[in-house]
Amino acid sequence: MAFRLDQLADLCGARLEGDGSALVAGPATLDQAGPDEVSFLANPRYSPLLSSTRALAVVVGADLAVERRDICLLRAADPNRAFSRIVAAFASERPAVAPGVHPRAHVAADAVLGADVAIGPNATVESGAVVGAGAVLWGGCYVGPGARIGAGSVLWPGATVLDGCVVGERCVLHPGCVIGADGFGFEPTPRGWIKIPQCGTVVLEDDVEIGANTTVDRARFGATRIGRGAKLDNLVHIAHNVEIGPDSVMAAQAGVAGSARLARGVVVGGQVGIGGHVKIASGVRLAGQSGVYGDLDEPGDYIDSPARPKREALRRMAAASRAEELARRVRALEARLAALEGGRP
Amino acid sequence: MAFRLDQLADLCGARLEGDGSALVAGPATLDQAGPDEVSFLANPRYSPLLSSTRALAVVVGADLAVERRDICLLRAADPNRAFSRIVAAFASERPAVAPGVHPRAHVAADAVLGADVAIGPNATVESGAVVGAGAVLWGGCYVGPGARIGAGSVLWPGATVLDGCVVGERCVLHPGCVIGADGFGFEPTPRGWIKIPQCGTVVLEDDVEIGANTTVDRARFGATRIGRGAKLDNLVHIAHNVEIGPDSVMAAQAGVAGSARLARGVVVGGQVGIGGHVKIASGVRLAGQSGVYGDLDEPGDYIDSPARPKREALRRMAAASRAEELARRVRALEARLAALEGGRP
Amino acid sequence: MAFRLDQLADLCGARLEGDGSALVAGPATLDQAGPDEVSFLANPRYSPLLSSTRALAVVVGADLAVERRDICLLRAADPNRAFSRIVAAFASERPAVAPGVHPRAHVAADAVLGADVAIGPNATVESGAVVGAGAVLWGGCYVGPGARIGAGSVLWPGATVLDGCVVGERCVLHPGCVIGADGFGFEPTPRGWIKIPQCGTVVLEDDVEIGANTTVDRARFGATRIGRGAKLDNLVHIAHNVEIGPDSVMAAQAGVAGSARLARGVVVGGQVGIGGHVKIASGVRLAGQSGVYGDLDEPGDYIDSPARPKREALRRMAAASRAEELARRVRALEARLAALEGGRP
């Protein structure tokens, strides 16, 4: 499949500078693109590659100064979004699950399936479960007794929603994620740890996306809740009774301990740890590998473990960096002072 | 479902202060409870909420001073445990797997099933496996060739026990956990990494709980061993030949490298990393995100990476915090000394 | 099963010192071996155990000085490798999947299976997938539409390869790993996060090993690529458009953010975090829990977060350790200077 450059300009709403009849074979990064490929520049980190790229054409900002005259330009207000349209144009359609229930799926007799549901081979829908209209259950996924899957949601292979949990509409659950395993609660006794019953559920509100092998535990009582439009990456852990605010995003391998509450629009970097029972205000952005052990009440960027406002943390790090130099200066002071004390000039 | 307050007091062994005939609709947190709900105060962090809660009743300690007269109190020696009983009373029974082998499960002809085993749809029990009496295998779980599952154990959907591994009695394996994948062992050679055969197994002793998507690798030889009563949270990694002592607990996303040995009753926080071959003494408690790279011989609290005794680590952190102030004081000293040296007063 | 000591010496190419007719019951660690077992000493950390081990025989280096005369020695140039041979000799053969397609597997009518493929119960091979000769698909694994599995590769139970992804020859995919879930890409809009289409795939080159519950996301365009011979441990996260160089190794719970590129032979410790878009040179070795937020152009050992060359990082840590002592010295200087300034002797 190939497109003419003026076709690509049209479909992504870009202004073309160059030969519209040139044929484009596909999208590629600036440093890997060949002379029949289209690339893009959205992250300034890659600007230097513009001078060396072999790409036929590059999607750039509307006003970016470009010295080279031998590459075509597709000028767009949002180069990233424009390039996404080009990428999608070249992509073949992702395959779908065949409509209806695959003969090798197990759907309990009393499960309720909405219109146009598609269920793949070796999938399981247990007793009393409800699957909304247009939902797609890929092969090997699992919907537990009494669980509810909202209309238009997609469960990829191996995604698991346990008994009584609720998934909203248009959610996407990637392979291997686990919704509703027991919260991790045990009481110490002289005979060892005794399990604290985990009697609640999990609620994923509408438009939530849960990454591959991510785990969201059921609440001790009430519900662990992921707010509308929140997006969780792979291998994230959400403990019991946590609340993640709407439109929050969490990068891979982040973890949130029990009963913590994140407000709307919190941004959590990869491998971040958030302690139990803390509250995090709307607009907080946590850098990768940071750790939160107390409430964060003010919006803004935080880094380090324990997490501090970025400005303060950088100042502390700079000070710590000067410890070697400081030690030298103290040695010098000691020598000079000893000289003075000794009466020598 | 609703309970009278005096019924709840009875069932959790609390002393009631207030109107026993009041009807309670369910349990909730102090800040979310409505006027027909019961809450609890076990963590002092939440004490301030007692003055603002709208709850009908609150489970509190036997002697806690409470100023408000408009809420009922359920006084208990252990408010957390008492509240667990109330939570359980309101919870509907968790669903069960139907007794027997589901027609869509695969159980090898030479597998041995104990009395009253329940095996769900799309579950797999391979050749030579042994499943003890009363064990529950949810849909989609996997028991490999020659593996043994002890009596009364529960494998949730997607839990996987590979060939030859041994699971004790009354264990709980949450969805997606993997018991017995190969240990990560490779030898460098001029032609790349060559796999070191992983010929051992995994042994989970009795009463062990393994979290969702947690991985416990098989040993190079002998067995990776999780001691009786140990509890592992979600997304934990246990490498080959590790030994986790009885009654140890590990929070989510912690990881232990090869051949490390944790004694009885070690407490490991979330996202902790434990290096290969280290030994950790009984009674060690590791704070979240800490890292252990050498033996820890003394019980007590450790924080930081590399982990240090908490007291020492806090002193170091405080000193590091003073680096900025120290730099200012050194500058002042230098100026004063220069003045002295220059003969100025 | 037991072997004579001279048999073991033969099979691992070691030079025997001691009674070749002694019978060995199995392999064990130095501190756990009984008087009929064989152990080994490869890691100098364990040297002290040589004086106390109860083992019948120990595999040691060719020239190691050993004082004890009451244990047999198996002297080998590479004791670790020699011991692996002994371990393998005692191990029973790992079970295999029965040849052919299990009646409880689902293989789409238009999937293409090579010669001698073995597919277990409850496995799924979707439409248009291609499985190479001699590949082994354990029960419960999943091969998506149009995915390709190379000859001789092994997918353990629950391993999942999504649509269009490509697995090379002789790869090993451990249980629960997910190849080809969507990359984590969203654009902020006034109506919340909008998904950036993830139109690429994943390519695992030949001889790659992917750990249990590890996730490798599909690219936004083109392919996320794991180079020939690379080995990834459990619970590792690889984001979209990442490239991992050939023969690189990554320990458990490490994570790599989008578009990062690791060259050939990079060694990544456990729980390491690697930021988006960074480049890491061949021969870089990252210590456990380190964090990489900028390019690393020079080979060598790095530690800490942000990662620094080991030597520099250790110097910084030592300086930081002296902050307490430094504060004391500054206090002393201040007192002495005040005395001088006050005219007191």
The minimal CB distance from B181 to the residues C45, C212, C337 is found for C212
* Interface contact flag, A222 B43, Cβ < 8 Å: no
Catalytic residues of B: 240
User: Is B95 contained in some domain?
Assistant: no
Residue A76: per-residue pLDDT: 97
Give residue-wise pLDDT tens across range A288-298. Answer: 999 999 999 99
Query: What confidence category does residue C319 fall into, taking pLDDT thresholds of 50, 70 and 90?
Result: confident
Mean of all residue pLDDT scores within chain A: 95
Residues of C311-339 as b/e, b for ≥16 C-beta within 10 angstroms?
A: eebeebbebbebbeebbebbeebbebbee
User: Is B133 contained in some domain?
Assistant: yes
Residue of C8, C81, C83, C94 to mutate for B, most B C-beta atoms under 10 A: C94
**Residue ending a domain, choose from A69, A90, A111:** A90
Give residue-wise pLDDT tens across range B304-343. Answer: 999 999 999 998 888 777 777 888 888 888 888 888 887 6
Same domain, A186 and A284: yes
Same domain, B176 and B247: yes
Same domain, C305 and C319: no
Residue C50's region, left for phi above 0, alpha for psi from -120 to 50, else beta, is alpha
The minimal CB distance from C104 to the residues B106, B199, B305 is found for B106
User: Is A95 contained in some domain?
Assistant: no
User: Is C226 contained in some domain?
Assistant: yes
* Interface contact flag, C181 A175, Cβ < 8 Å: yes
Question: How many angstroms away from the CA of A280 is the closest CA of chain C?
Answer: 19
d(CA B195, CA C233): 12
Same domain, A137 and A272: yes
Cis bond leading into B306, ω under 30°? yes
Q: Say if CB C253 and CB B255 are below 8 A apart.
A: yes
* Interface contact flag, C126 A139, Cβ < 8 Å: yes
Same domain, B84 and B28: yes
Give residue-wise pLDDT tens across range C254-293. Answer: 999 999 999 999 999 999 999 999 999 999 999 999 999 9
User: Is B135 contained in some domain?
Assistant: yes
Q: Say if CB A251 and CB A274 are below 8 A apart.
A: no
Q: Give Cα separations from B100 to B145, B147, C283 (angstroms).
A: 20, 19, 56
User: Is C322 contained in some domain?
Assistant: yes
Residue A326: per-residue pLDDT: 83
d(CA B231, CA B253): 13
Same domain, A107 and A28: no
Question: How many angstroms away from the CA of A175 is the closest CA of chain B?
Answer: 11
- CATH number, domain with residue B116: 2.160.10.10
Contacts of A307 (CB under 8 A, 6+ apart): A286, A287, A290, A291, A292, A293, A296, A313
**Residue ending a domain, choose from B34, B69, B90:** B90
Residue C328: per-residue pLDDT: 85
Chain B residues with CB-CB distance to A326 below 8 A: 323, 326-327, 330
Residue C146's region, left for phi above 0, alpha for psi from -120 to 50, else beta, is left
* Interface contact flag, B158 C158, Cβ < 8 Å: yes
d(CA A37, CA B284): 58
Same domain, B8 and B116: no
Other beta carbons within 10 Å of A218: 25
**Residue ending a domain, choose from C21, C56, C90:** C90
Give residue-wise pLDDT tens across range C110-138. Answer: 999 999 999 999 999 999 999 999 999 99
Same domain, B209 and B72: no
Same domain, B144 and B24: no
Residue C343: per-residue pLDDT: 60
* Interface contact flag, A235 C257, Cβ < 8 Å: no
- CATH number, domain with residue B49: 3.40.1390.10
Q: Token pair 């072999």 is at which residue? A: A54
Quote the DSSP letter at residue C135: -
**In percent, how much of chain C has pLDDT > 90?**
89
d(CA A343, CA A47): 63
d(CA B301, CA C128): 56
Residue of A184, A194, A201 to mutate for B, most B C-beta atoms under 10 A: A184
Strands ordered across the beta sheet of C15-17: C15-17, C72-76, C57-61, C37-40, C26-27
**Angle at the Cα of A300 (from A298 to A305), degrees rounded to 5?**
90
State phi, psi for B189 to the nearest 5 degrees: -140, 165
Residue B329: per-residue pLDDT: 87
Mean pLDDT, each 10-residue run in order, chain B (345 residues):
94 96 95 96 93 97 94 96 94 93 97 98 98 98 98 98 98 98 95 94 98 98 97 98 98 98 98 98 98 98 96 85 81 87 63
Query: How many A-B residue pairs are in contact by the CB < 8 A criterion?
Result: 183
| Four-point Cα dihedral B203, B206, B212, B213, nearest 10 | 0
Would you give the distance in Å from CA B13 to the centre of its chain?
A: 28
Question: How many angstroms away from the CA of B107 is the closest CA of chain C?
Answer: 9
Average pLDDT over residues C105-109: 98
Give residue-wise pLDDT tens across range A109-168. Answer: 999 999 999 999 999 999 999 999 999 999 999 999 999 999 999 999 999 999 999 999
Structure token pair of residue B70: 């408009």
Bridge-based pairing of strands A15-17 and A72-76 is antiparallel
The minimal CB distance from C235 to the residues B235, B241, B259 is found for B235
Catalytic residues of A: 240
d(CA B230, CA B247): 4
Other beta carbons within 10 Å of C258: 21
Give residue-wise pLDDT tens across range C53-86. Answer: 999 999 999 999 999 999 999 999 999 999 999 9
User: Is B288 contained in some domain?
Assistant: yes
Q: Give Cα separations from B182 to A20, B105, B241 (angstroms).
A: 55, 26, 11
Boundaries of domain holding C323: 312-341
Same domain, A227 and A320: no
Exposed, middle or buried by CB within 10 Å (0-12, 13-18, 19+), for A277? middle
Chain C residues with CB-CB distance to B255 below 8 A: 235, 252-253, 270-271
Question: How many angstroms away from the CA of C189 is the closest CA of chain B?
Answer: 31
Same domain, A323 and A291: no
User: Is C95 contained in some domain?
Assistant: no
Same domain, C301 and C323: no
Cis bond leading into C306, ω under 30°? yes
Number of domains in chain A: 3
Using the predicted structure, report yes or no on whether residue C344 has a pLDDT greater than 60: no
The minimal CB distance from C321 to the residues B164, B237, B316 is found for B316
Mean of all residue pLDDT scores within chain C: 95
Residue A95: per-residue pLDDT: 95
Residue A345: per-residue pLDDT: 44
Average pLDDT over residues A75-79: 96
